[in-house]
Structure 1
Amino acid sequence: MQSEKVIKHIVNWLKNYAVNAKMDGFVVGISGGIDSAVTSALCAKTGMRTLCIEMPIHQAESQVTRGREHIKLLKEHYANVSDTEVNLTSVFEQFKTEVPQTSDDSFLDLSLANTRARLRMTTLYYFAGLHRYLVAGTGNKVEDFGVGFYTKYGDGGVDLSPIADLMKSDVYKIGEALGIVDSIMKAAPTDGLFGDSRSDEDQLGASYDELEWAMKMKENGKKSDDFLGRKKTVFDIYNKLNKANQHKMKPIPVCEIPKNLH
């Protein structure tokens, strides 16, 4: 991949979109991970105002530290970058006291994890509305269009997606070209939504490299029976997640009323 040319293309795309939409800049949620680091750096390179927001909810200290390290470096290089922190822990805890309690924990953890993501989306749009900014998404191609590894109307609720046509491995290449801090480049990817140390690979059952391979194999028309061992396992994991999460990737279904009923 021609990293420098890809960077220039994305930066121009971001700026042109914002100018045509008559918006004044971008807001990006900073998680301490590679995707948000690359996205915020690309937004910063447009020269338009870029607001980086940290939104911890019982966040691991290592994630917070990486995010702050990244923002500090961005601000040193780009005068158009600003930042703020909105600690949503108390909001999240209050939410839990207001909703009905359940004795069935089978879906509780996931539901609360998605709630965290949706509280953050609400916060991003609050600041976007205040400043006439666009909410820049941080999802990559394998997450957004492969396995659907994001929260509907959470981190999936954005105005534009600058890195959604890049595989995770491509994002790392862009990150290297952009000079993203080592602590982020070397950190195990995690969504940080469960308040523990589980990584994305722990949740997905396969690494991003493996899932990228499976995505390419499926695009090439391969079937599960074409593989053995670990490759078959990974291919099946990819297919299962891809099928289960189609509701995230397809447009919202609309009940169309037949003309004869109007």
Structure 2
Amino acid sequence: MTQALLFGIDFTSAPRAAKPIRVARGERQGAVVRLAGLQSLLSLEAFSEWLATPGPWVGGFDLPFGLPRELVQTLGWPLDHAALMAHYAALSRDEIRTQFAAFCDARPVGSKFAHRVCDGPANASPSMKWVNPPVAYMLHAGVPRLLAAGVWLPGHQAAGGDRVALEAYPGLLARELIGRRSYKSDTKAAQTTERLIARKDMVDALEQGRTRLGLRLKLSHAQRDDLVADASGDSLDAVLALLQAAWASTQPRFGWPEGADPLEGWIVSA
């Protein structure tokens, strides 16, 4: 897919004015990805409406697209991704928490959670976690809306389309850029000078193309200032997801490795 619009989406399962879903829009020319703009979506309904944006586009979405096969089998849930997502969407968050907590309680200390295969190489939280971060609720809020909008989830679905959604994980790219340094916080008291410097270093590295993705980020002076100034890190996370989508847009199978589990899914560039 050439000359597709590119998007990076920093998702939250409870969007609001103080914590919106952030969408970074960009375009790729060779090894350069130009940030065209940032947008805030204040509700899940606004997110559903945004998903109707005409294609062709490729988006990197910062939320899990699947659950660990071990968990699904243990709970006796459907082993087909579409059927599993329909089952999952029909549950309330309380029901999800209760069933996942019971699963964890029955397991030994140190291996409470089940993991997807992609969690290891991406160093990602298990997609069944319901707190810190509540990615299980992000999956519950996001993936059914992607499916309802008719967006194509490569790897999970055989059928194609010109609106492509991929599972991104900004933390994977962030660690490549600045190691384990913290660069964001939603708590005012924790929005320190050290975190601001970390964001500045990350933006510098992105502009210089110092990642294994082989891409350079092109920003205006105002965009650079805005990314560094956003202490929540949400704008920067959307841009990181944008770059992961840009990389995947040129890869065979959008970066899915051979043999990846269509029930669990795969994190872009893991």
- TM > 0.5: no
- Answer with 1 or 2: which has the greater Rg: 1
TM-score (norm 1): 0.27
TM-score between the two structures when normalised by the length of structure 2: 0.27
The structure with the largest helix share of the pair is 1
